[in-house]
């Protein structure tokens, strides 16, 4: 059936060409968006109504039934000239010479009234070869019809673009198959105004984050996407090859080490919102490329970054969920989970929460190993050192219990090689992560700036990666970064926050694929 409709549409494109009409116009004449036309007309109509009341001495004005002396008194049915371009959503023929066409131009819909006598022979040929999904330009006078619908009474039409495939427009009910929605996002967006709204909100969220940081004197920067060595986080990288330099490069796992080089260079507040790439599995919270906000603040620490993070999240809640203030409770629905987003958010130690949900002191090696023996992958986990086992248990027993926003602070140092240790402790560092609905949203440190200690931690990390066969841990030391620290980096706090997960929260989407315009998918069977 689709092929049959395709052939019909191709025939109509040929008929347009035969009539001297290009079905794929090179240029579009001047126009306004449908929403702009509607607003402009309503403003004009409101002014005309007040003028008519004054001129006719009556508060009851019906522009479709004006008195005989109305014209003499300068009163006429409101009308403004206009032009619009957009996609055809609906067509209704009313006899042989009259038709109504609904046109959509991103922000709104407007009805066209088309009469053969007004649009001429070429214009009527355009109408006769028009299909749903085609793009059309129209000019004329904007008025209300007798039924009250704001409409453009066309006196000129231009064909802009022929849709050969039958688009799943809104009235079709949208795409039913989830996988098809992700593979053919363009069709999904056509059929689903609510999906378009999600991505419009995503854009607004990112813009708001930029505004929040710019207002606090942070400077947005861009750092390399291809790195000579992988670093900045533990993850398996994507590898590419630079032909001219004849060297392997790695799609960045994180921009951290480059951003901190900028602190060395004299900038005090920097941030970047951009893609990271990690060669990992795909599920409802992970995609191999994802958007991160990373920021660094000289003379800050994880306490100041915690305050900044909470302020930013509260600002976003205020803008996109509900007004914050007066001590009112703010609850949101995320999938089936109700979450209390009322600030201030809880702050709790890693060890405190670990004991709260496991009943085990994280420093008790015997008890930790006994609990690890119950894990499904216990054989592999027990090969790890003590603090790595603790982290595995945290992931298994604690993380999914963290529903309301909570800052988990003071992490084991061995899993945080870029963070300063807590004063007076050999094992704990100044790091926090914020969790909401069992999901990590952000990671932050009091940044390590001692080059000697940083080198020692890098060396230890590489040695353990080789010894354990950990494919995600870095196996190369970034000596250039260590050298940069030798030039002196001020005390600083840093933050990495996942934009995709944040958008999921603020738009009530339960899969990361629903906030990515083009999520990665497996190759379709039979595809080349």
Structure confidence by residue, pLDDT tens digits, 318-353: 999 988 887 788 999 999 999 999 999 999 999 999
pLDDT at residue 171 greater than cutoff 70? no
Please give the pLDDT value at position 485. 97
Please give the pLDDT value at position 170. 66
Distance (Å, rounded) from C-alpha 225 to C-alpha 274?
9
Total residues found in the chain within this entry: 528
Pick the residue with more confidence: 469 or 94? 94
Residue 497 CB contacts under 8 Å (≥ 6 apart), including other chains = 292, 293, 294, 309, 441, 442
DSSP three-state, residue 497: strand
pLDDT at residue 172 greater than cutoff 90? no
pLDDT at residue 365 greater than cutoff 90? yes
pLDDT at residue 527 greater than cutoff 60? no
- Other C-beta atoms closer than 10 Å to the C-beta of 55 total 15
141-150, 167-176, 330-339, 451-460: range with lowest mean pLDDT: 167-176
Please give the pLDDT value at position 224. 96
65-74, 165-174, 252-261, 355-364: range with lowest mean pLDDT: 165-174
pLDDT tier at 173 (50, 70, 90 boundaries)?
low
Pick the residue with more confidence: 236 or 528? 236
Please give the pLDDT value at position 524. 74
Average pLDDT over residues 158-174: 84
Percent of the chain clearing pLDDT 70 (strictly above) = 98
Give the domains, in start order, of the chain with CATH numbers. Answer: 2-167 (2.40.50.140), 193-345+404-514 (3.30.930.10)
Please give the pLDDT value at position 478. 94
Tokens standing for residue 389:
């086992």
pLDDT tier at 361 (50, 70, 90 boundaries)?
very high
Give bridge partners of residue 286 from the DSSP assignment. Answer: 283
Alpha helices in 192-282 (DSSP H): 193-214, 256-264
Structure confidence by residue, pLDDT tens digits, 491-523: 999 999 999 999 999 999 999 999 999 999 888
By the 8 A CB rule, do 135 and 87 touch? yes
Give bridge partners of residue 113 from the DSSP assignment. Answer: 100, 153
Structure confidence by residue, pLDDT tens digits, 97-107: 999 999 998 77
Structure confidence by residue, pLDDT tens digits, 418-437: 899 999 998 999 999 999 99
Structure confidence by residue, pLDDT tens digits, 95-137: 889 999 999 987 799 999 999 999 999 999 999 999 999 999 9
pLDDT at residue 357 greater than cutoff 60? yes
Pick the residue with more confidence: 368 or 522? 368
Please give the pLDDT value at position 2. 64
Please give the pLDDT value at position 228. 94
By the 8 A CB rule, do 113 and 151 touch? yes
Please give the pLDDT value at position 405. 97
Pick the residue with more confidence: 4 or 275? 275
Residue 525 CB contacts under 8 Å (≥ 6 apart), including other chains = none
Please give the pLDDT value at position 351. 96
Please give the pLDDT value at position 191. 85
Give bridge partners of residue 226 from the DSSP assignment. Answer: 251
Average pLDDT over residues 205-216: 98
Give bridge partners of residue 347 from the DSSP assignment. Answer: 407
pTM of the entire predicted model: 0.91
**In angstroms, how far apart are the furthest CA atoms of the chain?**
99
Average pLDDT over residues 41-62: 92
The pair phi, psi for residue 12, each rounded to 5°, is -65, -40
pLDDT at residue 232 greater than cutoff 90? no
Average pLDDT over residues 402-430: 93
Tokens standing for residue 456:
């020692």
By the 8 A CB rule, do 151 and 114 touch? no
Distance (Å, rounded) from C-alpha 181 to C-alpha 188?
5
Give bridge partners of residue 291 from the DSSP assignment. Answer: 275
pLDDT at residue 466 greater than cutoff 90? no
Percent of the chain clearing pLDDT 90 (strictly above) = 78
By the 8 A CB rule, do 438 and 401 touch? yes
Residue in this structure with the two tokens 């001047």, named with its chain if needed: 30
Distance (Å, rounded) from C-alpha 247 to C-alpha 284?
35
């Amino acid at each position: 059936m689709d092929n049959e409709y395709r052939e019909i549409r191709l025939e109509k494109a040929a008929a347009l060409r035969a009539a001297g009409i290009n079905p794929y116009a090179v240029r579009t004449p001047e126009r306004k968006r449908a929403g702009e036309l509607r607003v402009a007309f309503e403003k004009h109509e409101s002014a005309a109504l007040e003028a008519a009341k004054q001129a006719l001495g009556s508060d009851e004005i019906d522009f479709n039934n004006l008195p005989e002396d109305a014209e003499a008194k300068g009163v006429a049915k409101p009308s403004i000239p206009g032009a619009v371009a957009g996609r055809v959503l609906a067509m209704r023929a009313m006899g042989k010479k009259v038709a109504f066409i609904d046109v959509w131009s991103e922000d709104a819909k407007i009805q066209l009234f088309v009469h053969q006598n007004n649009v001429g022979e070429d214009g009527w040929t355009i109408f006769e070869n028009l299909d749903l999904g085609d793009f059309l330009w129209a000019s004329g006078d904007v008025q209300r019809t007798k039924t009250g619908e704001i409409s453009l009474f066309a006196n000129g039409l231009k064909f802009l673009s022929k849709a050969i495939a039958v688009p799943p427009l809104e009235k079709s009910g949208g795409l039913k198959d989830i996988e098809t929605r992700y593979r053919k996002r363009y069709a999904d967006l056509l059929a689903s105004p609510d999906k378009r709204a999600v991505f419009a909100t995503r854009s607004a969220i990112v813009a708001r984050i930029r505004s929040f940081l710019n207002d606090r004197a942070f400077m947005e920067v861009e750092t390399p996407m291809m790195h000579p060595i992988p670093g900045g986080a533990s993850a398996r990288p994507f590898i590419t090859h630079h032909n001219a330099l004849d060297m392997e490069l790695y799609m960045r796992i994180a921009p951290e080490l480059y951003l901190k080089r900028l602190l060395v260079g004299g900038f005090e507040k920097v941030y970047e919102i951009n893609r990271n790439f990690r060669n990992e599995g795909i599920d409802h919270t992970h995609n191999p490329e994802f958007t991160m906000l990373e920021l660094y603040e000289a003379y800050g620490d994880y306490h100041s970054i915690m305050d900044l993070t909470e302020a930013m999240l509260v600002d976003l809640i205020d803008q996109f969920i509900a007004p914050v203030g007066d001590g009112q409770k703010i609850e949101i629905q995320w999938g089936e989970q109700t979450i209390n987003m009322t600030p201030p958010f809880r702050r709790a130690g890693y060890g405190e929460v670990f004991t709260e949900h496991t009943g085990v002191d994280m420093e008790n090696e015997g008890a930790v190993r006994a609990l690890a023996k119950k894990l499904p992958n216990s054989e592999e986990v027990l090969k790890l050192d003590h603090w790595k086992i603790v982290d595995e248990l945290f992931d298994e027993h604690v993380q999914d219990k963290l529903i309301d926003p909570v800052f988990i602070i003071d992490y084991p140092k061995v899993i945080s090689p870029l963070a300063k240790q807590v004063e007076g402790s050999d094992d704990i560092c100044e790091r926090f992560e914020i969790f909401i609905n069992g999901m990590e949203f952000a990671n932050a440190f009091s940044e390590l700036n001692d080059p000697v200690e940083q080198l020692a931690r890098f060396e230890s990390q590489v040695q353990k990666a080789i010894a354990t066969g950990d494919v995600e841990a870095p196996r190369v030391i970034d000596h250039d970064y260590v050298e940069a620290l030798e030039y002196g980096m001020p005390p600083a706090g840093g933050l990495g926050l996942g934009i995709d997960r944040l958008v999921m929260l603020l738009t009530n989407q339960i899969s990361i694929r629903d906030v990515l315009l083009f999520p990665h998918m497996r190759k379709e069977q039979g595809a080349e």
